[in-house]
Each structure stands twice: as structure tokens, then as C-alpha cells.
Structure 1
């Protein structure tokens, strides 16, 4: 059994459109379209980082980094089709064998990031009643 918590990133570089909530770590889509999401992490020395990206409540993909006597990095990216109101977020997973995700960084060092951007808007078509 594993436990996971949404990662709340403590530095925002850009939040055009205001879809990212810095208090919850959740991006809420304000415009339907194709989006790219990227997430990266650096695990502290002799620690592990296991991150999972979710679209609404559905698992999409993971990153995992672990090594002995050194730092471990990981990253992943995905293209998602989102509808207005959809949510995307990253969870940090604690492994069932007792290892806790430990992300390395400090207020003046940024190694673990989450970003997303619109590639192209998608205008959703609705069926016309009576046709």
C-alpha cells in the first residue's frame, strides 16, 4: 500500500490565465485544448523521489529517482487533451517499503519543477439537437 500527497510547489515563475493554484498545487484548465505538462525532481542524497502526474483523478505517468551516496534526478512529460475545468497535479508517493519521497532544494535552489502550457486550443463540438 502506498500513500501519496499533492505536491505544493513553493515558487511560481508564471501563471498566465491563473489556472495554477499555488495553495493546493493543482492546475485547473480555463481553456479547452492540447497541453504539455513536464515535471522534474531531484532526490536528496541517499533518498528517493517518486512522483505521479494525474489528470482529474486518473493516473497518467510517473518519475522515479534513487541512488546510493548521491543525488538522483528524474523527469517526464506528457501531452494531454483537457476540457475546461479539468485538473492536473503531481503527487509525491511514499513507497510501501518505507522509503519517503524527499525532494531536494531550498528557497534559493530550484530542482523540482512542474510546468504546463497550451499547445493549441480545442473547440469542442456539441451535437445539434434534432439532427
Structure 2
């Protein structure tokens, strides 16, 4: 009775696991052996799945750790970037404040100098008098070039051997600063934006849309013209004058344009069929910081050349 039941169970397990059912003639021993093999196979599969689970768990743990390290690194980089941006912002603010203070100080200095030069009755104290404190020259920190200053006559100390009188120039404000001689004209004027450059080598058989690069720089105040690209970049808003000359050989002609940010605002034609000919054109344009200006070829005859040295470009702010 037990043997048929075992055989039935073996058949069911074989059907579920995909094995062929046991032969009824082999007996219970064969069935038990097959059952043991099946159990061993299932146990091995369970062990493999457990090992795979452990490997996946370790891999996920490693990924999580790497993500934490990346987040920590990103936070450090963000703090470093914030410090750098703050330092740059503070530096720009200090530069602007220094320029404002320098401009105001220059206007004060010019006003002080002009007043003392124009008044012939002003008595200039000697070095000895300055050392003894007989007279002083005072300039208010808040004085602008348009402010009205007061002039008061101050008598020197009665105990001094010389009864000289001096003039003191002060503003109505109570806050004053002594103007030292070595502080006069501390801020110099910058050179105006201007450049002049020529063509260093002949451009042979120029093509349409070709940029003319005048690489032989003679003057480049401010360094806003790039001899490598042939492009002038505006730094200060204002009105600018540009002039360019194209010289070509006989038998050819060249159309050229002056371009602002890709838009043509002046054109020129040089050359004809009979003579060597040059063409010079001047244009005036308003620019803002970041605007770019350059010259380019619009059209030309076959084999037309732009001659070196005689072709040039210049520009300046008015």
C-alpha cells in the first residue's frame, strides 16, 4: 500500500519538475533515489538564488555608498563655488567703489587747484608755515565739482614771528579731510579707444563672405581689435568711426562691406578693368558693449587680389 503511494508522489513531482515519470517495474528504491536527486537539485537552486541575492545586496550597498560620496562632493563643490562667486562679487563692488571715489577725488582736486590758481590775492603758505600749523588747506570729502565753497580768512597765531595771513577753503559740511600734496592728480586719464592696422600679406583670389584680416597693427589703444580674427569688439558704449581701404590690381574688382554683428552698414567698391585702383570708405555707427565690427568680401572678379600694405582698416570712438 505504501509503495503505490510513493510511486504516485514520484510521478507528481516528476511532472511538476519536468522529469519523466518513473517506471513502475523499477520499484520503490529507484523512486526514492529520484526523489533524493530532485531534492538535491532544488536545494542547489535555492542556494544559487541565495548567493545571487547576497551578491545583489552587496552591489546595491556599494552603489548607495557611491551615491552618498557623490552627494557629499557636490555639496563641497557648491560651497566652494558660492565662496568664489561671493569673492568675485565683492571684488567688483570694491573696484566700482574705488573708481567712483577716484573720480570724485579728481574733480575735487581740479576744483581746488583751479580756485587757487585763479585767485591772485591768495597767499600760499611756506613749508615752515605748514609745519608750524599757521595755515591749512582743507577739502571736504563730499565736495563735488558743482558745489559752492566758502573762503574765509584765518589769522595765524599771534605768538608767531611772522604775522602772515592765509586763506582757508572749506565746504559748509563739518566733515573735512586735509589734502596732501602727494595726493594731487592721482587718477590719470585713459587713452581713448582707437586702432589702425594694415594688411600684412596679399590676399590672392579672394572669395565671397571672406573676412579681411588686417594683421599688421600700428595702433591698438585698449586692445579691442583682434589681429587674429579681424574683429573689433566694443567695450564702451558710444559713437565710433570706421574707415577701410581696399587696393586691388588691374583687371579685377572687389566689393567689400563693413559689418556689425553680421549686418552690413557700409559698402565699398575697388578696381575696374583698366587701372590699379583703391577705394576708401568711412562710416559712423553707434555701438554698445559686446558689439562686433569687421570687414568682409561681398563679391569679386575671378583672380582679384587685395594688396598688402596699401589696404588698411582703422576705427576710433568719438
TM class by shorter-chain length?
Answer: 0.7 to 0.9
State the match for 2:212 in structure 1: 7
1:114 lines up with 2:317 in the alignment? no
* In structure 2, C-alpha distance between the alignment counterparts of 1:55 and 1:100, rounded to whole Å: 27
SS at match of 1:5: coil
State the match for 1:48 in structure 2: 253
**8 Å contact from structure 1 (residues 32, 83) kept in 2:** yes
The alpha carbon displacement at 1:101 in A equals 4.4
* In structure 1, C-alpha distance between the alignment counterparts of 2:252 and 2:209, rounded to whole Å: 16
* In structure 1, C-alpha distance between the alignment counterparts of 2:281 and 2:217, rounded to whole Å: 19
**8 Å contact from structure 2 (residues 256, 299) kept in 1:** no
State the match for 2:229 in structure 1: 24
Number of corresponding residues: 112
SS at match of 1:102: coil
* In structure 2, C-alpha distance between the alignment counterparts of 1:81 and 1:8, rounded to whole Å: 22
The alpha carbon displacement at 1:69 in A equals 3.5
**8 Å contact from structure 2 (residues 249, 304) kept in 1:** no
State the match for 1:103 in structure 2: 306
State the match for 1:70 in structure 2: 275
Q: Could you say what the CA RMSD is over the residues aligned between the two structures, in angstroms?
A: 1.6
Q: Which has the larger radius of gyration?
A: 2
The TM-score with structure 2 as length reference comes to 0.34
1:86 lines up with 2:86 in the alignment? no
* In structure 1, C-alpha distance between the alignment counterparts of 2:268 and 2:304, rounded to whole Å: 11
The TM-score with structure 1 as length reference comes to 0.78
SS at match of 1:6: coil
Give ranges in structure 1 of 5+ residues lacking alignment. Answer: 120-131
- Structure with the largest fraction of helix: 2
Classify 1:89/1:43 alpha carbon distance in 2 versus 1 (closer, same or farther; 3 Å).
same
Classify 1:101/1:60 alpha carbon distance in 2 versus 1 (closer, same or farther; 3 Å).
farther
Give ranges in structure 2 of 5+ residues lacking alignment. Answer: 1-206
- Structure with the largest fraction of strand: 1
State the match for 2:264 in structure 1: 59
